């Protein structure tokens, strides 16, 4: 209680007005975070800040959390805080009285729009004192900017950004611009924010824990919150529940809700059937076809609406409304609400066959009349996460599968269950794998069938689900599904052919690299993906020196690449990077 009271005093003593706490507070916290790379320190700074904000109510804290993760609404709502560079440049010029050439020159020099805004504000004299920015003002303006559409929206966005910049100090200008760019660039991971939030809540409900935090308990709280977040990724609901119930009770009060996407469980890549058998020596497992389409999570909500979400939790209802409208037909009596996990594939209605992923990718995103739909789809359902008010996540896959099959009925070419076999022998699995390819699938998903390890683990790339792709499928994936590369499970020898100039913390080194694969038939290096994560500062320095020697003015005639991939600097094809999970 004394800590709670102290927190309230602390917060009251901060500068704020009737519109809430000043934005400069959170910027100060961002700056502290920016100055360290130590995860524990970052968590500690953020937890203390959140704790202070807790004294001001859940609404305020929710906005602070959103500002930390650079969002203005739950991710699944698709309201994105990302403004194009040209609008930001205009706003900086207009707020600071500089011309565009000067702004662009400064960007070239420091490689960070946020710093440009900061530098120009530092040197700017204002005639009249402006009202100070509050968290409410900044958050609400960000929300308006993210949701504004229509003919004059660009102009309005520039005006709103300009007015924020004019009211903000130099530091505030830096973070306003970075937030609007979509990246704070201070080394904040969402997991750290969740850990800090769990700690702040523990401090709030148990004063002692603040003065003498028990690392084991704090770890446990962090795991609880992270886990609950994968099932209910909505900060508005979670922060409110943290206030009322505290972190320990969270799993009891915050459960999966139809209408809010669960972060999907993912599979671990393997190279061969024997690798699968090594992993699952004594464990009962099942093999399912791995269909080649798009992940789709289908929810029937309390209000009777059927909605769907993609692998990245984007709402895909409009894209697949034609199949979702038919759910009455696929659902057995007694089923009121549900969440099921499936792969949607393109379907040839004449030959009654699965069509390749490329065909599905030509399907329009929305606004198509049913008569205009050229690509028909079929659902292959493989899991159930929720049924009639009850979460199925903790049940075994065997039980979930039984419940799934009892709750829905097959409609050929529209709604089918994933083909499966519970096999044990290498040869049988190999035959099933070949059969999956013959049936136009990518390979197999091998999943633990019974016991605790077979529960549904939201958001996890789990070793309890293994995927086995055959080589043909791998190559096909690289060619057709470049955007999906993060899950491909093979080692690849890729050649570094270009580099992107680093920004922010990576100024002076390369921020990312363009990798290519050698095609012996065409005798060319084909750009295949960009990489920019997973490097330590030491790596980046080392790469800078290493690639300095191989810089070339123009790309080799045998480099093949798209306009969007064009790097800032080209390299000789001398460095091979062995990438496992790109
Ligand atoms: P990929 O590009 O291979 O789909 P990914 O990273 O999206 O990779 P992984 O977890 O690696 O996802 O592979 C599982 C994906 O395979 C799922 O996201 C889903 O879209 C698809 N899939 C097809 N059939 C199944 C199945 N029977 N069980 C689970 N996932 C399946």
404 lines ligand 1 (CB under 6 A): no
SS3 letters across 137-198? HHHHHHHHHHHCCCCCHHHHHHHHHHHHHHHCCHHHHHHHHHHHHCCCCCCCCHHHHHHHHH
Task: Determine the residue of 268, 286, 290, 341 to mutate for testing ligand 1's pocket, defined as the one with the most ligand atoms within 8 A of the Cβ atom.
Answer: 290
Q: Tell the burial category of 282 from Cβ atoms under 10 Å away from its Cβ (0-12, 13-18, 19+).
A: exposed
- Token duo for residue 250: 């969270």
| Cβ-contact 552, 571 below 8 angstroms | yes
Residue among 314, 343, 457, 483 to mutate when testing ligand 1 (max atoms within 8 A of CB): 343
Structure-token match 């004299």, residue found: 125
Centroid of ligand 1 to alpha carbon of 290 (angstroms): 7
Residues in CB range of 245: below 8 A, 6 or more apart: 252, 253
Burial class (CB in 10 A: 0-12, 13-18, 19+), 476: middle
Atom of ligand 1 nearest to the CA of 467: 13
Say how many Å lie between the CA of residue 444 and the centre of ligand 1: 10
* Cut 0.90: pTM above it: no
Mutate to test the pocket of ligand 1, among 287, 289, 295, 309 (most ligand atoms within 8 A of CB): 295
List the pLDDT tens digit at each of the 582 positions of the chain: 344 444 444 444 455 656 568 999 999 999 999 999 899 999 999 999 999 998 888 999 999 999 999 999 999 999 988 899 999 999 999 999 899 999 999 988 888 899 999 998 876 666 666 778 999 999 999 999 999 988 889 999 999 999 999 999 999 999 999 999 988 989 888 999 999 999 999 999 887 777 778 889 999 999 999 999 999 999 999 999 999 999 999 999 999 999 999 999 999 988 788 889 999 988 999 999 999 999 999 999 999 999 999 999 999 999 999 999 999 999 999 999 999 999 999 999 999 999 999 899 898 877 667 888 889 999 999 999 999 999 999 999 999 999 999 999 999 999 999 999 999 999 999 999 999 999 999 999 999 999 999 999 999 999 999 999 864 333 333 444 444 444 444 456 788 999 999 887 788 899 889 988 888 777 788 998 888 877 778 888 888 888 888 889 889 888 999 887 899 999 988 766 544 333
Look up tokens 């800078």; give the residue.
544
CA dist., res. 442 & res. 467, Å (int): 9
Task: Count CA within 13 A, CB hemisphere, residue 118.
Answer: 16
Closest ligand 1 atom to the C-alpha of 265?
10
CA of 382 to the centre of ligand 1 (A): 11
C-alpha of residue 192 to centroid of ligand 1, in Å: 27
Cβ neighbours of residue 74 closer than 8 Å, sequence gap 6 or more = 233, 234, 235, 236, 260
Catalytic, 90? Answer no
Q: Of the residues 48, 118, 174, 290, which is catalytic?
A: 290
Report which of 204, 233, 230, 243 is spatially closest to residue 58, judged by C-alpha positions: 243
Which residue, by CA, sits nearest to atom 18 of ligand 1? 295
- What are the residues facing 386 on neighbouring strands? 339, 391
b vs e for 166-189, b when ≥16 Cβ sit within 10 Å of the residue's Cβ?
Answer: bbbbbbbbbbbbbbbbeebbbbbe
Kindly give the number of the ligand 1 atom that is closest to the alpha carbon of 269. 11
Ligand 1 mean position to 349 CA, how many Å? 24
Contact 219, 194 (CB under 8 A): no
Question: Which residue among 267, 361, 474 is best mutated to probe the pocket of ligand 1, counting the most ligand atoms within 8 A of its Cβ?
Answer: 267
**Residue 343 Cβ < 6 Å to ligand 1:** yes
Range list of β-strands (E), 401-523: 415-417, 420-421, 443-448, 461-469, 492-501, 510-519
Q: What is the ipTM of this complex?
A: 0.96
Of the candidates 408, 403, 258, the residue with the CA atom closest to the CA atom of residue 333: 408
Tell me whether residue 226 is exposed, middle or buried, using C-beta atoms within 10 angstroms of its C-beta: 0 to 12, 13 to 18, 19 or more: middle
CA angle 60-224-234, nearest 5°? 40
Taking the CA of residue 292 as reference, the ligand 1 atom at the shortest distance is 23
For ligand 1, atom 3, name the residue with the nearest CA.
487
| Measured distance between the N- and C-terminal CA atoms of the chain, rounded to whole angstroms | 49
Q: Report the nearest-CA residue for atom 25 of ligand 1.
A: 290
């Amino acid at each position: 209680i004394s800590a709670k009271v102290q927190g309230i005093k602390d917060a009251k003593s901060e500068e704020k007005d009737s519109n809430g706490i000043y934005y400069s507070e959170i910027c100060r916290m961002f700056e502290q975070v920016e100055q360290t790379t130590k995860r524990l320190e970052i968590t500690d700074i953020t937890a203390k800040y959140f704790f202070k904000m807790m004294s001001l109510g859940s609404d305020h804290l929710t906005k602070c959390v959103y500002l930390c993760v650079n969002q203005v609404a739950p991710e699944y709502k698709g309201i994105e805080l990302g403004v194009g560079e040209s609008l930001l440049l205009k706003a900086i010029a207009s707020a600071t009285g500089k011309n565009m050439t000067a702004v662009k020159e400064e960007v070239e020099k420091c490689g960070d729009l946020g710093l440009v805004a900061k530098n120009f504000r530092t040197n700017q004299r204002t005639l009249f004192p402006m009202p100070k920015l509050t968290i409410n003002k900044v958050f609400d303006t960000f929300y308006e900017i993210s949701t504004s559409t229509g003919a004059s929206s660009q102009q309005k966005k520039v005006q709103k950004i300009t007015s924020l910049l004019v009211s903000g100090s130099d530091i505030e200008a830096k973070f306003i611009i970075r937030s609007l760019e979509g990246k704070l660039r201070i080394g904040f991971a969402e997991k750290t924010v969740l850990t800090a939030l769990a700690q702040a809540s523990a401090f709030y409900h148990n004063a002692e824990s603040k003065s003498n935090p028990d690392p084991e308990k704090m770890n446990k709280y962090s795991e609880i919150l992270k886990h609950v977040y994968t099932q209910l990724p909505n900060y508005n609901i979670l922060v409110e529940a943290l206030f009322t119930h505290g972190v320990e009770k969270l799993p009891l009060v915050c459960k999966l809700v139809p209408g809010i996407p669960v972060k999907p469980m993912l599979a671990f890549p393997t190279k061969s059937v024997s690798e699968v058998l090594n992993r699952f020596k004594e464990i009962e497992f099942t093999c399912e076809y791995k269909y080649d389409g798009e992940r789709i999570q289908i929810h029937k909500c309390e209000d009777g609406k059927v909605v769907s979400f993609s692998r990245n939790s984007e709402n895909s209802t409009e894209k697949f409304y034609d199949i979702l409208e038919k759910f009455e037909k696929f659902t057995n009596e007694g089923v009121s609400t549900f969440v099921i996990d499936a792969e949607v594939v393109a379907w040839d209605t004449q030959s009654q066959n699965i069509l390749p992923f490329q065909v599905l990718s030509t399907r329009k995103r929305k606004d198509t009349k049913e008569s205009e739909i050229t690509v028909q789809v079929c659902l292959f359902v493989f899991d159930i996460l929720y049924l009639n008010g009850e979460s199925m996540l903790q049940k075994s896959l065997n039980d979930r599968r039984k419940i799934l099959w009892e709750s829905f009925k097959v409609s050929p070419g529209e709604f089918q269950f994933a083909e499966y076999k519970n096999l044990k022998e290498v040869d049988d699995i190999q035959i099933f794998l070949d059969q999956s390819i013959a049936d136009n699938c990518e390979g197999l998903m091998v999943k633990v069938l019974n016991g605790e390890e077979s529960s549904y683990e939201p958001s996890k790339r789990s070793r309890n689900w293994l995927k086995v792709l055959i080589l043909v499928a791998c190559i096909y994936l690289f060619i057709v599904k470049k955007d999906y590369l993060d899950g491909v499970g093979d080692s690849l020898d890729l050649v570094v052919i270009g580099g992107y100039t680093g920004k922010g913390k990576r100024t002076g080194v390369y921020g990312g690299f363009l990798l290519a694969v050698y095609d012996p038939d065409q005798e060319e290096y084909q750009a295949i993906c960009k990489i920019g994560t997973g490097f330590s500062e030491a790596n980046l320095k080392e790469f800078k020196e290493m690639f300095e020697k191989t810089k070339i003015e123009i790309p080799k005639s045998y480099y093949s690449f798209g306009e969007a991939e064009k790097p800032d600097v080209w390299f000789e094809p001398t460095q091979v990077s062995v990438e496992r999970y790109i």
